[in-house]
Amino acid sequence: MSMLDKTAPKANLSVLDGVAMMVGIIVGIGIFKTPALVAANVTSDAAVLGLWMLGGAVTLVGALVYAEFGSAYPSAGGEYHYLARGLGRPVAILFAWARMTVIQTGAIAAVAFVFGDYASQLLSLGPFSQAIYAALAIGVLTLVNLAGVAPGKRTQIVFTGATILAIGLLVLISFTVGGSAVGQAAAPPTASSGGGWGLAMIFILLTYGGWNEAAYLSAELRDVRRNMVRVLVLSVVAVVTVYLLMNLAFLHVIGLEGLRASEAIAADLMRQTTGEAGAALLSLIVCCAALSTLNGTIFTGARVYYAVGRDILAAQALGIWDPDRQRPSNALLLQGMIAMALVAFGAVTRNGFQAMVEYTAPVFWLFLFLVGVSFFRLRAREPDHERPFRVPLYPLTPAVFCLTCAYLFYSSIAYTGFGALLGMVVLAAGLPLLMLARRDESGPVESREKV
């Protein structure tokens, strides 16, 4: 028996832990950054709120699909496991490469830049202040998670709780102290209607992004067959509520035109309601939200590298699980190094956050579409497999999910810049790595696990 067979994740996470992890991952990814980008591509307040509601509905559809996956096929490998089982090891291995070099590490770098943007408002560290703060945040939180699963989840609960309380306070101040900007005239958006809405949805669904990270908690969630759907649905409902309240607050205080012109919308909101002291407090709130997202994303992100290490002989070092601290040490270290390299890339662009969005979006939506395809394949090939939760309105629900992913993949290429092309090039660079896969008749380790 190898070292890889002796160690494995344990079910240490409760529903509260899971919801805290998910809400923390999602809230903070972009709600303090993307509303201005969305406003620049629509024509009215109603369109802003309608698109955010549509984004929430799309997210809930995806969450229901993943709830069935997570309850039926719990695995630390998450989407890697689903793709290997549904579409074969080559697709899964290519996904692992994409997640390692583009999707997860790019998301970590993007959120780190949000943290850097707002931390620099409190104390600038020079011309590369945002990138310095971003790298420091990634480094410190990687060390926290290397200390073990207990410090990681405690940190997550603290950050998530503080973030939600602070956002509630922000919304309350907006509607009780702030003036009203409702009804103010706004100039038309610069983008065309179709392209503008498509680009707006890219940013909105990026801001909702992270719900799929629940897949990587399935091996560590207690009573996963019952609790996976609870974690996903509770998390999505909570996030949709928070996002709608935040957008209502922004529109109420600074208006659509103010949103379009703002570089730091949350700080501008507080500046108009409580002055410069409030803007400084708000910057602390955003930093807290970003750190919450970063910690959760770092926690879940390394789990897929662990799964790859159990499947590919050449990457076996990544598949070592520390049974004492309950974490994949080597995977966490590699993830941190790649994310810091992307921070360095973002630092030389005009806008580090937007560069990371463009870099990750097409690759992310391509593989999310393939996960949806594997859902249909597994339903057809394994009709008798135990599914404690079944997605409602099958096959309509997963079909809507797949069509949405396909549209977002198209939009993320058609309406973005050089970063999208670079992300696809990096994806293609992983094709030769397929030759490193261990070739045996029994298939991947993760696919052989009994669930």
pLDDT digits (tens, 9 = 90+) for 240-294: 998 998 898 888 888 888 888 776 677 777 777 777 777 777 778 778 777 877 8
pLDDT exceeding 70 applies to what percent of the chain? 80
221 by DSSP, 3-state: which? strand
> What single letter denotes the amino acid at residue 23?
V
Confidence band for 171, pLDDT divided at 50, 70 and 90: confident
Query: Is the confidence at residue 183, as pLDDT, over 50?
Result: no
State the Cα–Cα distance between residues 76 and 72, nearest whole angstrom.
13
Give the model's pLDDT for residue 399.
96
Phi, psi angle pair for 271, to nearest 5°: -65, -35
pTM of the entire predicted model: 0.75
Answer whether CATH 1.20.1740.10 is correct for domain 3-438. yes
The answer to whether the beta carbons of residues 251 and 48 sit under 8 Å apart is: yes
Give the model's pLDDT for residue 373.
96
Q: Which of 114-128, 157-171, 251-265, 360-374 has the highest mean predicted lDDT (pLDDT)?
A: 360-374
Query: Is the confidence at residue 450, as pLDDT, over 50?
Result: no
Query: Is the confidence at residue 6, as pLDDT, over 70?
Result: no
- What does the pLDDT average to over 58-73? 88
Give the model's pLDDT for residue 292.
77
Give the model's pLDDT for residue 446.
43
Query: Is the confidence at residue 99, as pLDDT, over 60?
Result: yes
- Which is higher by pLDDT, 216 or 70? 70
State the Cα–Cα distance between residues 76 and 304, nearest whole angstrom.
7
DSSP structure class, residue 189: P
The string of pLDDT tens digits covering residues 196-247 is 677 788 888 878 877 777 766 766 778 877 788 888 888 889 899 989 988 9
Q: What is the mean pLDDT of the chain?
A: 79
Distances (CA, A) of 127 to 122, 132, 138, 412: 14, 10, 19, 30
Query: Is the confidence at residue 106, as pLDDT, over 80?
Result: yes
| Residues near 194 by beta carbon (within 8 Å), at least 6 away in sequence | none
- What does the pLDDT average to over 123-139? 89
Give the model's pLDDT for residue 53.
92
Query: Is the confidence at residue 3, as pLDDT, over 70?
Result: no
| Residues near 87 by beta carbon (within 8 Å), at least 6 away in sequence | 370, 373, 374, 377
Give the model's pLDDT for residue 406.
93
238 by DSSP, 3-state: which? helix
State the Cα–Cα distance between residues 440 and 93, nearest whole angstrom.
15
Give the model's pLDDT for residue 321.
65
Length reported for the chain: 451
Confidence band for 427, pLDDT divided at 50, 70 and 90: very high
| Residues near 233 by beta carbon (within 8 Å), at least 6 away in sequence | 60, 63, 64, 67
State the Cα–Cα distance between residues 276 and 273, nearest whole angstrom.
9
429 by DSSP, 3-state: which? helix
Name the residue with tokens 């409760």. 14
Query: Is the confidence at residue 193, as pLDDT, over 80?
Result: no
Confidence band for 1, pLDDT divided at 50, 70 and 90: very low
Query: Is the confidence at residue 314, as pLDDT, over 70?
Result: no
Query: Is the confidence at residue 412, as pLDDT, over 80?
Result: yes
Q: Which of 48-52, 226-230, 284-288, 332-336 has the highest mean predicted lDDT (pLDDT)?
A: 48-52
Give the model's pLDDT for residue 181.
55
The answer to whether the beta carbons of residues 248 and 50 sit under 8 Å apart is: no
